[in-house]
Amino acid sequence: MDNQNIMQIKLNEAKGKVNLFAMDYDGTLADGEKYQKDDAISIIRQILAKGKTPAFMTARAATAVKTFVPPLEEFYRNNPESVAAYIGGGNGTVLYKIDAKGVERIYNHGLALDEIKSIVAKWENYATEHLLVNELSEKGLTTFKKFYADTWENLISDEVLNIGRPFEGRIFTEEAKVTFVFPKDVNQHQKIVDDIQNLIREKFSVAAGDKDFCHITKRLNEDSKMVAVKTILKELGLEENQVVTFGDMPHGNDKGLLSFPYSFTNYVSASSNVPPFVLPGAETDPVGSVHKAIHFLIA
């Protein structure tokens, strides 16, 4: 049986069972170009309209709250009886539940102030030699410069922000995670991940988020996105075969997210014989392939 047939069989199986949709955001639901935030929010509203539970499982932390909470609050003002939605920010290190009652933080496995300082100090020593400013992703630098120019009241303390502020966009510090900008040369990325992991040791986890950013979070007993999904499943009284998951980084920060029986990816180099199964159309329209699969599952 070929890979596409296997994938379609798995989508058909999931269609009759799924009650929870757990989805990465950047590169999965939106790409900042053809598919914007409004397209992703539209998908979430459609899932909610079917009485299913959506969950963002994203590397974004404070930015996830800032981005997703306002449109979700608007949805619940108009649909107060709807089931809840969830945000697993910082790759699942912080989990929020959102419904008509407001926003509730389920847990926080974020970093302490001294841990952030220690991570940044070790990154700085490494970056001085290996992460030269003129070689870094321009998108990454621009994004973080904008972040530091923004306001984060009640989301990130000035004490935490000021740890990363002097580095002019090369690194961004928040309680959920520390994120630094990758070089433009993607061939260097895995070595950098390994090097930083060796520097900060087993207490923390280092994972590529995409071609521009690398995330450092507190290491949990299991992958942090997996922990978030399992927490939601337990709260809803669901089994692992009742969640469908989507992500674009099966070898990066979506590895745990894409380990469930019905896990699908738009990363075309992944094997389709076992989860995650590669979606049709992923090569030509990666994010569109995810939207199409979700529409099939909720039709």
CATH number at residue 66: 3.40.50.1000
List the domain range (segments joined by +) for residue 283.
3-109+222-298
Please state the domain count of the chain: 2
- Quote the pLDDT of residue 274: 86
Mean pLDDT along residues 5-32 = 94
| Comparison of pLDDT for 201 and 190, the residue scoring more | 190
Whether 118 and 210 map to the same domain: the answer is yes
Whether 205 and 233 map to the same domain: the answer is no
* pLDDT category of residue 201 using cuts at 50, 70 and 90: confident
- Quote the pLDDT of residue 273: 78
The per-residue pLDDT for range 209-227, each reduced to its tens digit, is: 899 999 999 999 899 999 9
Last residue of a domain, one of 184, 218, 252: 218
Whether 103 and 138 map to the same domain: the answer is no
Share of the chain above pLDDT 90, in %: 92
Last residue of a domain, one of 194, 218, 242: 218
Whether 192 and 229 map to the same domain: the answer is no
Whether 7 and 97 map to the same domain: the answer is yes
Show Cβ contacts of residue 42 under 8 Å, excluding neighbours closer than 6 positions: none
The per-residue pLDDT for range 43-78, each reduced to its tens digit, is: 999 999 999 999 999 999 999 999 999 999 999 999
- Quote the pLDDT of residue 272: 65
Whether 66 and 210 map to the same domain: the answer is no
Helix (H, G, I), strand (E, B) or coil at 125: helix
The per-residue pLDDT for range 103-146, each reduced to its tens digit, is: 999 999 999 999 999 999 999 999 999 999 999 999 999 999 99
Whether 104 and 118 map to the same domain: the answer is no
Distance from C-alpha of 57 to C-alpha of 223, rounded to nearest angstrom: 12
Say which residue the tokens 């989508």 belong to: 11
Whether 193 and 229 map to the same domain: the answer is no
CA distance readout (Å), 281 to 237, 260, 290: 33, 22, 9
Whether 163 and 148 map to the same domain: the answer is yes
Whether 166 and 79 map to the same domain: the answer is no
Are 18 and 297 within 8 A, CB to CB?
A: yes
- Quote the pLDDT of residue 88: 97
Last residue of a domain, one of 168, 195, 218: 218
For residue 122, what is the domain's CATH number? Answer: 3.30.1240
* pLDDT category of residue 1 using cuts at 50, 70 and 90: low
* pLDDT category of residue 4 using cuts at 50, 70 and 90: confident
* pLDDT category of residue 202 using cuts at 50, 70 and 90: confident
Distance from C-alpha of 208 to C-alpha of 20, rounded to nearest angstrom: 25
Whether 105 and 198 map to the same domain: the answer is no
Whether 233 and 94 map to the same domain: the answer is yes
Show Cβ contacts of residue 294 under 8 Å, excluding neighbours closer than 6 positions: 21, 23, 43, 46, 47, 246
Helix (H, G, I), strand (E, B) or coil at 143: helix
Q: Is the pLDDT of residue 6 over 90?
A: no
Range of weakest confidence among 69-73, 126-130, 244-248, 271-275:
271-275
Distance from C-alpha of 227 to C-alpha of 106, rounded to nearest angstrom: 12
